[in-house]
Chain A
Amino acid sequence: MVKEATVNGKKVETNSPPTGMQVIFREFSKDKLAMFSLISLVVVIIGVFIWAWFIDQETLMRVSLRDKYAAPGEKFFLGADQGGKDILGQLVIGAKNSIRIAIAITLITGVFGIIVGLVCGYFGGWIDNMFMRIIDFFITIPSLMIIIVFVTIVPKYTVNTFILIMSLFLWTSTARLVRSKALSESRRDYVNASKTMGTPGILIIFKEIMPNLSSILIVELTLNFAGNVGIETGLSYLGFGLPPQTPSLGTLISYANNPLVLQDKWWVWLPASIFILLMMLGINYVGQALRRSADAKQRLG
């Protein structure tokens, strides 16, 4: 990286290693497939949100028996489902809901996991011990089953309850990763130097250690996002995800539980499956490119 600096009134060119966003940008410009995945993901996500804004849910959800299982054609681009409802419209609304909820869960678990991880890694001692026991417990229990049971017994079940239930069980892996990184980071010289200068612990954690872990955190959040899309659509597929009035991609795929639909009416469930498949591949690919740029040994550029 060539930079210009002024020394004694003269302009000099200096070389400094690329940092932060520059590294990520260089990695993506070296890996064309990752660049393509990133751009198409952004376009698809923004597109889905804008399109969903134009769709009138009332008209979309109106049952019209005349169009029951209408094949793809002029009236419905991707055909219609059991109630004669447009699949394409449901796909867009479902994608919007799935993405929005996955983002919400990722942010909640991310913030909580990062704070717990940083605090445990920096302070150690009994706080660390306590949280590690809790995390160990969460990791060994069959969380998928317990989430499902929670979903069935919670009274007045809404999207927000679903997000909270999922977050309750999914923050632990982030916390564990961040803790191990913060633990090694807090033994570095710059942290010790800062300590001797009397900087309060909170400031060291959030202003000094966290920026140094930022690349790892970005990778973790991206991969978590992919994982959360998978879990949410999976649960909705089983019928224990989003409430029925909020269609998800998983809801659309769950129509395939009827063998007749699975066999003959591919347009009902296949588009949503392929959408999830491509989206998961895209997010994970971007996540891997980010991971490479976070690790100096693996960088392409």
Chain B
Amino acid sequence: MWKTIIRRILIMIPQLFVLSLLIFIMAKQMPGDPFTGMITPETDPARVEELREKAGLNDPWYEQYVNWIVNAAQGDLGKSYTYKIQVSTLIGERALNTFWLSLVSVILLYLIAIPLGVLAGRYQETFLDKIVVLYSFVTYAIPTFVLALIFLFLFGYQLHWFPTVGSVDIKYDPGTFGYLWSKLYHMLLPAITTALLGTTSVIQYLRSEVIDAKSLDYVRTARSKGIPVSKVYSRHIFRNSLLPIAAFLGFTITGLLGGSIFIETIFGYPGMGQLFISSLSSRDYSVITALVMLYGFLALLGSLLSDIIMSIVDPRIRIE
């Protein structure tokens, strides 16, 4: 078991290295450096040059790369030009918002997908099954930003059921119950949109898993012992089908991160995805570089998590 995990982590290291190199090269291609924003007509060019020298911007690129990596590993990602605060502080706040939004989305996603998948598999070829299959097809085909906009228009602006922007109502003080409720309320519409769009793979997997399990020996044994049908489904089949679903968790998180760019921009939710887009418009390159690196790291972590869960759940795929 541990062998598999360590092996998997060892594979991750070169991937991280190549990713960081790619991002470093991209960052170097971006125009400007941390001192461009400070230059005013009164600035002495020699002084700027001195600062550049001091910050190591005139060193050979491999030295700069090593410095950048060492600083990043210590949490020093530079300063944001627009917000004038440390990038790590800025991202920290936003990351928390994105984390809560993702958590609510994942919970809703599984709350929708698991019952639908099991029911569709149990009542295969009935009207209910056809509706679920249609639903999972439609949500698979719709692009995220189209559904998000339509939902915002319909439920936010037309019906006024949900707030249309922000992550919390400013009239509440942090720590109170109203504050928490307001936070959750702001998260709900983006989370529902994300959850609806992400259910397809879980539903399809669970449905075919349940259909396959129906004709297996252990189900027939359970039935012949006299266990009622509903109990066979809820105890025997459900448990066996659920374990592989857990393995999707890592990939689901990775997928959510990609979708968060659209969802957060459209719903005006101050998370990392929205920060990424707004930093691009203001050309805040140190923030952009840090965010791409962080997303890349989280994506690698997600696939690592999936592989580990998968190898715990299904011993057949453990690598020797």
Does A230 reach chain B (CB closer than 8 Å)? yes
Q: 1/0 contact trace for B1-29 toward A, CB 8 Å?
A: 00000000000000100110010001001
- Which A residues are CB-close (under 8 A) to B88? none
- CB pair A152–B280 under 8 Å, yes or no, is yes
Does B141 reach chain A (CB closer than 8 Å)? yes
Question: What are 24 A-B interface contacts by the 8 Å CB criterion?
Answer: A136-B15, A140-B296, A141-B296, A141-B299, A142-B258, A144-B258, A145-B258, A145-B276, A146-B22, A148-B276, A149-B26, A149-B288, A152-B30, A153-B30, A226-B141, A233-B145, A238-B145, A253-B149, A256-B153, A263-B153, A273-B146, A280-B143, A281-B141, A285-B141
- CB pair A262–B300 under 8 Å, yes or no, is no
- Which A residues are CB-close (under 8 A) to B153? 256, 262-263, 266, 270
Does B95 reach chain A (CB closer than 8 Å)? no
Does B140 reach chain A (CB closer than 8 Å)? yes
Minimum CB–CB distance for B244 against chain A, Å: 19
- CB pair B288–A284 under 8 Å, yes or no, is no
- Which A residues are CB-close (under 8 A) to B143? 230, 233-234, 276, 280
- Which B residues are CB-close (under 8 A) to A276? 143, 146
- Which B residues are CB-close (under 8 A) to A269? 149
- Which B residues are CB-close (under 8 A) to A233? 143, 145
- CB pair B295–A284 under 8 Å, yes or no, is no
Binding site of A, secondary structure by majority: helix, strand, loop or mixed? helix
Binding site of B, secondary structure by majority: helix, strand, loop or mixed? helix
- CB pair B149–A273 under 8 Å, yes or no, is yes
Does A112 reach chain B (CB closer than 8 Å)? no
Does A54 reach chain B (CB closer than 8 Å)? no
Q: Knowing A145-B292, A149-B288, A262-B152, say if A238 contacts B265 (CB, 8 Å).
A: yes
Bound form: Cα–Cα A226–B300 in Å: 27
- Which B residues are CB-close (under 8 A) to A230? 143
Bound form: Cα–Cα A284–B200 in Å: 13
Task: Tell me the chain B residues, 131-175 only, with Cβ under 8 Å from chain A.
Answer: 137-138, 140-146, 149-150, 152-153, 157, 164-165
Bound form: Cα–Cα A148–B15 in Å: 20
- Which B residues are CB-close (under 8 A) to A253? 145-146, 149
Minimum CB–CB distance for A31 against chain B, Å: 13
- Which B residues are CB-close (under 8 A) to A137? 15, 18-19
- Which A residues are CB-close (under 8 A) to B291? 145
Minimum CB–CB distance for A152 against chain B, Å: 6
- CB pair B144–A140 under 8 Å, yes or no, is no
Task: Tell me the chain A residues, 141-192 only, with Cβ under 8 Å from chain B.
Answer: 141-142, 144-146, 148-150, 152-153
Bound form: Cα–Cα A199–B164 in Å: 65
Does A277 reach chain B (CB closer than 8 Å)? yes
- Given pairs A140-B299, A144-B261, A234-B143, 6 additional interface contacts (CB within 8 A): A142-B292, A150-B26, A262-B152, A270-B153, A281-B141, A284-B141
Cβ contact of B15, chosen from A140, A153, A280, A284, cutoff 8 A: A140
- CB pair B149–A240 under 8 Å, yes or no, is no
- CB pair A141–B19 under 8 Å, yes or no, is yes
Bound form: Cα–Cα A285–B262 in Å: 25
Minimum CB–CB distance for A99 against chain B, Å: 15
Does A237 reach chain B (CB closer than 8 Å)? yes
- CB pair B145–A284 under 8 Å, yes or no, is no
Does A288 reach chain B (CB closer than 8 Å)? yes
Cβ contact of B141, chosen from A136, A149, A240, A280, cutoff 8 A: A280
User: Nearest 10 CB-CB pairs, A to B?
Assistant: A284-B141, A142-B295, A230-B143, A263-B157, A280-B141, A153-B29, A273-B146, A281-B141, A145-B292, A237-B145
- Which B residues are CB-close (under 8 A) to A153? 26, 29-31
- Which A residues are CB-close (under 8 A) to B303? 140
Bound form: Cα–Cα A259–B164 in Å: 9
Bound form: Cα–Cα A262–B300 in Å: 37
Bound form: Cα–Cα A280–B300 in Å: 30
- CB pair B257–A142 under 8 Å, yes or no, is yes
Q: 1/0 contact trace for B276-320 toward A, CB 8 Å?
A: 110011000000100110011001100100000000000000000
Minimum CB–CB distance for A230 against chain B, Å: 4
Minimum CB–CB distance for A258 against chain B, Å: 12
